Chains A and B, each alone.
Chain A
Amino acid sequence: MKADATTPGSMPGQVAARSSIGPVRLAATMAAATVAATSSGEAVLLGVLLGLAAADIGSAVVAVAALLALAARWGSTSLDAIAGAQAVLGLGGAVGPAAAAAATWCAAAALVVAAPAGWPAVAFGAAAALGAAGPAPGGPVDVVVRVGATAVGVALALVAGSVLPRRPAQVVGIVLATAALGLAVAS
C-alpha cells in the first residue's frame, strides 16, 4: 500500500489512509468506467483502458479478448453500435443465436472473474454489464435494465476481485474469453 501523507493530528508514525491505486490507474479506472457506462467509444480502446486500470497483464489480456468477442458477436467494435443493437434486437445475453448468446455470457463472466481487487473492479463490472445487458437508453425500461445490470456486474466484480485468488482467476478468465471469441466467430 502506498501511503505517503501524514494526516495532521495523527499519531506519530501513523500515515493517512489513501486509495492503494496510483493516479494513472485511478484515471484509467475512471475513464474505463465512464466509457463502459455510457457505451461511447470503441472496444479495443476500452480493453486497453481496463488493462491500464488493472495494471496486470493477465487481466489486460482477458479484457481485450472479452471485448473483442463482444465486438465479433455484434459485428462492430463501436460500443454505441453494440448498445444500439441491444436496444433494438434484445439484450446480448438473451437474444440468439444460441452460440452468440453463450459468447456474450462467457465474455461477461471472463470480465467479472478477471477483475482486480479494489476500485478497478468497478470498470470491469460495468464492461461486463455492457456486454450482457447494456441496451442504449431508449426508454425507462432500458434505463432500469441498464442500471440494474451495471449494479449487479459491479457488485459481482468487486466480490470476485476480493475473494478469488488472482492467478487462477485470470487463467479461468482467459479460458472464458477464448471460448467467447470462438463462439462469437462461429455464430
Chain B
Amino acid sequence: MTQAGGAWAALCAVVVAAWVAIALGGGDASPVTTTAAGAAAAAATAALLGAGWRVTSLGTLQTGGVLVLLLPAAAAGAVGGSTALLAVALGLLAAVEVAVASTARFSEGLTPQSGVHASQNGGWGRSEGRGRDGRPQLAPTDHADPVPDVPAEIEGDSLDLEVDPLPAASIGGDRSAVWAVPRRRRRPRRRRGRMRPVLEAMALVCGSALLAAGLVAERIDDGGWVLPGGYRPALGLLLVGAAVVVVTAALGPPRAWALAVPALAVALPIADHLPAGPGAAVAGGLAVAAALAVSSRPTVALGALAVAAAASSAPLGATASLLAAGAVLALAVDHRAAALLGLPGAAALATAVVPPGRSGPAVVVAGATAATALVLVLRAGGAPGQIRPPRPPLSAAPALVLAGWLLLAPGTWAWAGGDGTGAYNRGAAVAVAAAALAAATGIRDRLPADTPPAASAQPSLPADHGTAGPAVVPVPARRQGRLRPAPQRPEPPADG
C-alpha cells in the first residue's frame, strides 16, 4: 500500500503541476480553458482528494485514479468557464456513490465505516466515521459473531481503533475478544453507526446528481456550458446541489471533501447573478443558522457567507473568493479553530463596506458575518484565548501551512482577489514579528506578575492555619466526620 500511496502522490503532483503550467502558460488547454483561479481550484481538489482518499485495493486505485485525473480538471474547467467535464465527473461520482450505498446497505459483517471494508465493497475512498473531535470512530457491529471479519479489519492499515488494551489473559489468544470492548462501549449507538455511511453516500448521490442535472439542463436550454445561464430552474438545482454537497463534505466522510471545490465554483458565479438584497439576506441567514447548528465544522458557515458576499454586489467578489478559500481549507484542517480562516475575508468585507456609498446588501452581509463570528466564538465554548480544542491530526499539516499562508498574507492570493488587502498584510507581518519577538525573548518570564508569588496550590490543612495559603473555613465539629475532600475548582482568570 505504501507503493500505491507513492504512486498516488506522484499522480497528484503531475495533475497539479500540469494545471499550474496550463494556467501560467496562457490558460488554454483544449477542451478545457482555465485561469489562475481554475488552477488553484484544481490544486485544491487534488489535494483534498489525496487527504480523503486512501488506496486499499486495486478497485479503489482504479476508481480513485480516474477521479484524481478527472475531478481536478473538471474543477479547473468549471472555474474557467466550461462545465462540460464537471457534468461528466459528477455523473460518474454519483454512480460510484450508488454502488457504495448499496454495498453498505446489504453487506454483511462489520459496518462499512472502516476504510478496508468500504474498499472491499467498491468504495472509492476512506469512509470511516469521525467524531466531533475529528478522530476516527469505530462503529459497532450488528452481528453477534464478528469473528469472520476480524482478521481483515485488524490487519488493515487504515484503521485507528480505540480499543482498550486488555491483559493477555483476558484475551486468551482469541482475537474476537478484542472486539468485545468496542462493541460493549458503543452498543447504544449501534443503529446510527450502521446507517451513517448509507446516508452519507445517499447525500453525495443527491448532491452530485442535482449538480449534474442542473448543468445538463443549462446546456439543453442555452446550448452552452458556461455559468450562469438564463434558465432559472437549472440555477435553482445547481444552488441546492451545491449546498447539499458542501454540507455533506463538511459533515460527512473525508472522501467528500474534494467535491466542495467544484460545488463552490458552481455556486459563486450563480449567486453573483441573484437578486442582491434577497440573495444576500437568505445566504447570510443560512450562514448564521449553520454556525448555530454545526459550529464545530465552520466550512458550512464560511461557504454560505461566501455565497452571500457573491450575491450582494460586484465589489465583494474578492471577499467571496477569500471566504470560499477559507471554507475549503477549513475542511482539510478539520478543526474548530478553523473558523479563523474567515478572518481575511471578513477584513476584505470590512474594507469594502466601510467607505461611504456602501450598498444595503453589502451591509447585510457584514451584519451576517459579524453574527456568524459571534456565534462561532460563543459556541466554541469560551473566549478566543481560552479555546482549547483538540490538536489537529498530523495529516492536516499541509493544510495548516496553507491556512497560515492565507491568514498571514492573503494579499499574495492574487487569484482570489486578495491583492487589495495590503493593510491587512502589513498588520499581520507586524503582529507576527512582535509575537515572535515576545516568544523568542521569553518576555513572559520577565514580566512582573499581576499578583504576588503564591504558595503551593495544595490546599492548606487546618494545622497550617495562619500560614500562607487559602483561608480555612471553620467547620462545625459535628460535621467534620462527614467531610470529604472537595474537588478542586479551576481558578478564575486572574484578570477576571
Residues of A within 8 A of B (CB): 1-3, 5, 7, 13-28, 30-35, 38, 40-46, 48-49, 51-57, 60-61, 64, 68, 71-72, 75-81, 116-120, 161, 166
With a cutoff of 8 Å between Cβ atoms, the chain B residues found around residue A43 in the complex are: 350
- Stretch binding the partner chain, chosen from B45-53, B212-220, B452-460: B452-460
Closest 3 CB pairs of A and B: A41-B427, A55-B385, A20-B494
Chain B contact surface mostly = helix
B270 CB, nearest partner CB in chain A, Å: 28
Within 8 A of A (CB), among B101-122: none
Q: In the complex the two chains form, is B427's CB within 8 Å of A35's CB?
A: yes
CA distance A18 to B370 in the complex (A): 36
Within 8 A of A (CB), among B474-496: 491, 493-496
Q: In the complex the two chains form, is A60's CB within 8 Å of B383's CB?
A: yes
Cβ 8 A contact of A42, one of B374, B385, B424, B448: B424
Residues of B within 8 A of A (CB): 343, 346-347, 350-351, 354-356, 370, 374, 377-378, 382-386, 421-424, 426-428, 430-435, 437-439, 443-445, 447-458, 491, 493-496
Cβ 8 A contact of A3, one of B377, B427, B434, B454: B454
11 more CB-based (< 8 A) A-B contacts, given A26-B443, A35-B430, A44-B346: A14-B456, A15-B457, A31-B430, A34-B430, A40-B430, A44-B347, A52-B385, A55-B383, A76-B351, A77-B347, A78-B351
CA distance A81 to B426 in the complex (A): 13
Q: Answer whether A55 and B430 are a contact pair too, CB < 8 Å, given A16-B453, A77-B347.
A: no
CA distance A79 to B430 in the complex (A): 12
Q: In the complex the two chains form, is B495's CB within 8 Å of A23's CB?
A: no
Nearest chain-A residue to B429 (Cβ)? Answer: A40
Cβ 8 A contact of A13, one of B343, B350, B445, B456: B456
Chain A contact surface mostly = helix
With a cutoff of 8 Å between Cβ atoms, the chain B residues found around residue A5 in the complex are: 445
Q: In the complex the two chains form, is B435's CB within 8 Å of A28's CB?
A: yes
Q: In the complex the two chains form, is A44's CB within 8 Å of B343's CB?
A: yes
CA distance A78 to B421 in the complex (A): 9
CA distance A52 to B431 in the complex (A): 12
Nearest chain-B residue to A161 (Cβ)? Answer: B495
CA distance A18 to B445 in the complex (A): 6
With a cutoff of 8 Å between Cβ atoms, the chain B residues found around residue A68 in the complex are: 350, 354
Q: In the complex the two chains form, is B434's CB within 8 Å of A20's CB?
A: no
List, sorted by A's number, 22 A–B pairs whose CB atoms are closer than 8 Å. A3-B454, A7-B453, A18-B449, A19-B449, A20-B450, A21-B494, A27-B438, A27-B439, A30-B438, A42-B351, A42-B427, A43-B350, A45-B347, A51-B384, A54-B383, A54-B495, A57-B374, A60-B384, A61-B374, A75-B355, A81-B423, A118-B495
Q: In the complex the two chains form, is A26's CB within 8 Å of B438's CB?
A: yes
With a cutoff of 8 Å between Cβ atoms, the chain A residues found around residue B438 in the complex are: 26-27, 30
Nearest chain-B residue to A29 (Cβ)? Answer: B438
With a cutoff of 8 Å between Cβ atoms, the chain A residues found around residue B354 in the complex are: 68, 71-72, 75-77
CA distance A21 to B496 in the complex (A): 11
A54 CB, nearest partner CB in chain B, Å: 7
A117 CB, nearest partner CB in chain B, Å: 4
Q: In the complex the two chains form, is B428's CB within 8 Å of A45's CB?
A: yes
Q: In the complex the two chains form, is B385's CB within 8 Å of A17's CB?
A: no
Q: Which one of B346, B431, B458 has the highest number of Cβ atoms from chain A below 10 Å of its Cβ?
A: B431
CA distance A16 to B454 in the complex (A): 8
Q: In the complex the two chains form, is A20's CB within 8 Å of B386's CB?
A: no
